[in-house]
Structures are given as structure tokens and as C-alpha cells.
Structure 1
Amino acid sequence: MKKNCANCIYGNIHSQEIVLEDKAILFLEGQSLKHVYSINQGYIKMSKYTENGDEYIIGVLGPGDYIALLALLQNKETYIASATALSKVELRSMEKNEVLKAYQSNQKFKEMCLNCAITRSNLFHNQLSISANTDIKEKIILILSNLANKFGYINNKKMYIDLPFSKTVLANIINVRRETLSRYLSVLQNEKILSVNKNQYILHYVI
């Protein structure tokens, strides 16, 4: 995704640099969609809230990723999820009309945007599919494997995932309580399925 998205927004689109501190809110779900953002440094979590007010994280975006591009291409008038900084974040803000104008006038730009949006949509649906799984141990393994696409690497037939956020955030992504995550991580370690060293997770086999 990063390679596609990194080349997706280009040309003479006017942009403004923005810096967010940790935990700062970029926008909330349902607010009017006015800008598309590109991340230069740092990480943003995309989340939705249930009727009970519980947070459900649908993804974590980092350098090279774009925020709200998919919603814009779907002709949404509002942001479809909330965006909150997980660290200090540097990004560029682009007015949606300028992005749409470039999208409509440049075929290469359009193809790149579509590739970027399709990849993001597939990841979103994959996340929803994983979240629907009722087996917590399997859910943890699948979501860690999914996060490995952005934060991981393979070495000696093991998958290493270095997450730039806490176990509390990971628990929200998996949609379980922090205590539940810790309990199941202990079980998985006892079963020699994975190892945990602070925010590094090592899957002892590659899915």
C-alpha cells in the first residue's frame, strides 16, 4: 500500500504542513470532509465508535499513507472514521477540490489514486472480516499478521512485528479489553506460538 500511496498525490496541488502532538484529533467521524491528508512522519489511528461509545480501531496509518482519499473518491460528504495521532505527526493538508480536480484531469493520477483506494478498501474489509472472528487467539494472530504488512519483517522463518503503539491500542484494534489481550498473549507464549518483548511481537511461524 505504501508504495502505491506514496506516488498517488503528486503534481502542483497546493498543500499546507500540519504538525499534531500525540493524542491530538485530526478530525472526527461525521465531520464535513474538506481535506485529504498525507503523512510524512508519525502514525494516525482510524477509528469508529459503537452505539455504546466503545472505540473500534479500523486501521493504523503511517508515513507514505493518505487519509480520507478513499472517502473522497466514494463521494462522501463527511469523514467515515475519526483520525487521532498515536505520536507526534507531520502531515500535509490538501483541499478536496484540488485533489478532485487533479484526479479528473490526469489519467495517470487517476489510476494511481484508484490503486491506492482499492488497496485501502481491501485492507478495511479484511480488518472487518478478522474482527468478526469469535476465536480471540486466532484474532490476535491474524491481526498481528495484518499489521506485519506495515510494521513487520520476516527473518529465519519468523515474523517480527515492531508496533509503534502500546498494548492498549493493540487491544482496541483487536476489540478486546487490555486485560484480556494480556491474558491471551500469555497463553500464546506458553504455547510457543509467539514471543513478546515490550512492543515487539514475534510469530514463530509465517502465515
Structure 2
Amino acid sequence: MTDKSKSGFTANCETCTVKDKSIFCHLQMDELITIDEHKSCIPYKKGQIIFNEGNYPLGVYCINKGKVKLAHAGQDGKEQIVKLAKEGDVLGYRSMLSSERYNASAIALEDTQICFISKEVFFSLLRKNPTLSLEIIRMLALELRLTENRLTDIAQKPVRERMAEALLFLKETYGFEKDNATISVVLSREDIANLVGTATETAIRLLSEFKHDKIVVFVGKKIKILDMDKLVKTANIYN
């Protein structure tokens, strides 16, 4: 069965092109049919909020198409990007498992298509499929490691190294365009600053320095890496 939203966005779990990239690749056919029968397919425009920080979760969100940022608002109102997500990623499961409010808002970075799966359906799948449960545990462990690394970087690394590492992270998350050099995502300078954990003015200055040093160049609103070796060295990720 195929679910259809009011806008005409359709998605079939059995033939989904991003299924193999998600935790749902381990589901049996009858389990995929269960999701198909109950999920909602929802399109979001660039900049639209998918869920708000502070709300209680009602289910999980699987990205069928597009890119999403998860951002936490600090006490001073400044946004901190805590995660970037892509096609196949599942959002909101951690807060749902812990029965806590969302600690960040999910916002579409571009026009995005989301499949929403209710809490009841998701928990039913977890109880029936131990492989899915183990995959969730693996994802939680991975996120914990990434969070620990990020906290260490913010505490110990100079901002120039953090900027270089952020660009490498963007490349690992979203990949390159067909030229095998341009990072396949558009982020504002403010978003990049919020990812690095610095002021927007500092992010702009550092990107200009990277351009001057022939590490990167700007292609429209995207960033093209000219010298990967120099970028890795600047990030100092092997020390």
C-alpha cells in the first residue's frame, strides 16, 4: 500500500530508494506493509520546522528526500546545530525512547519529504524485530561518541581547526557534487557558524582565509574543496 499526502507526495516502503540507507532495511515484508498502512507522507519547504524543541514526540520522522538540521536554542537565543541529517536518516527516536521533550528543533535545509511513523507503530516494530532494536542501540552509541568528540573539540581545538573539521564533516554527511569537489549542501554562513560553535563574523573571516589559502573556493552558495590534504591538515584530526 502506498501512502499519499494532500500535496501528492507518495512513498512505498517496499520500493523506497533510501530504505537501504536507513534502519528499516532490516524489516521483513509484513513489517514494511505495516508501516505503509499507517505512515504519513509530509512535504516540507526549505526553512519549515518539522518538529519544535520542547515538544513531546509522537513518533519518528524518516527523511525520504532532502536535508535537515537539528538546532538547539541556547540561553542567549543563539542557535547551535547539534546534528545534520540526510536521506534515510531517522529523526526523533532518542527523545521518544526516553519519553523526554525534544532537545532540538528539526528544520528543513531544502525542500524535504518526510515519512512520519507513529510511536505506537514504531514501538510495535521494536518489540517484534530484535535486529531493529540492535540497530537503534548502535545508532545511540554512535551519536554518543560523536557528541563526546564534539565536546572535546569545542573545549580544546582552536576555531580554525574546528572550521576545517566542520567542512570535512559536511563532505562526509552530504558528499560531493558530480565534480567530486563541491560539497552537496547549501548552508548559510550563520548555519556554518552555528555548526562550528563560533560567531558568524568569525566564520566568514575563516572561510575567507581558507579561500585565500586556496583550500576552498565558493561556487554560488556552495563550498568547493580545492586542497583536501591541506584541509585535513588544518583540521588536525589525526593528532
* Residue aligning to 2:56: 32
* Residue aligning to 1:146: 169
Is 1:50–2:68 an aligned residue pair? no
Q: 1:101 to 1:86 in 2, by over 3 A?
A: same
What is the CA–CA distance in structure 2 between the aligned matches of 1:163 and 1:191, rounded to whole Å? 22
What is the CA–CA distance in structure 2 between the aligned matches of 1:4 and 1:116, rounded to whole Å? 11
Deviation for aligned residue 1:154: 11
Aligned to 1:132, what secondary structure does the other structure show? helix
Letter in 2 for 1:174: V
| Stretch moving more, 174-183 or 126-135 | 126-135
Is 1:116–2:116 an aligned residue pair? no
What is the CA–CA distance in structure 1 between the aligned matches of 2:24 and 2:133, rounded to whole Å? 14
* Residue aligning to 1:135: 158
Deviation for aligned residue 1:49: 1.1
Aligned to 1:56, what secondary structure does the other structure show? strand
Q: 1:186 aligns with which of 208, 212, 226?
A: 208
Greater fraction of residues in strand: 1
Specify which structure has the bigger relative contact order, considering alpha-carbon pairs within 8 angstroms and separated by 6 or more residues: 1
Please list, as runs of the form range in 1=range in 2, the aligned pairs for 1:1-207 lying within 5 A after superposition.
3-5=21-23, 7=25, 11=32, 12-13=34-35, 14-73=38-97, 75-153=98-176, 160-198=182-220, 199-202=222-225, 204-206=227-229, 207=232
Deviation for aligned residue 1:189: 2.5
CA root-mean-square deviation: 2.7
TM-score by length of 1: 0.84
Greater fraction of residues in helix: 2
- Tell me, yes or no, if the aligned pair for 1:4 and 1:116 is still in contact at 8 Å: no
Deviations 1:31-84 (Å, cap 9, x if unpaired)?
1111110001111110111111111011111111100123333x2322121111
Q: Which structure 2 residue ranges, 5 or more long, are not aligned?
A: 1-19, 233-239
Task: Give the count of matched residue pairs.
Answer: 204
Q: 1:109 to 1:18 in 2, by over 3 A?
A: same
Letter in 1 for 2:41: E
Letter in 2 for 1:32: Y
Letter in 2 for 1:144: L
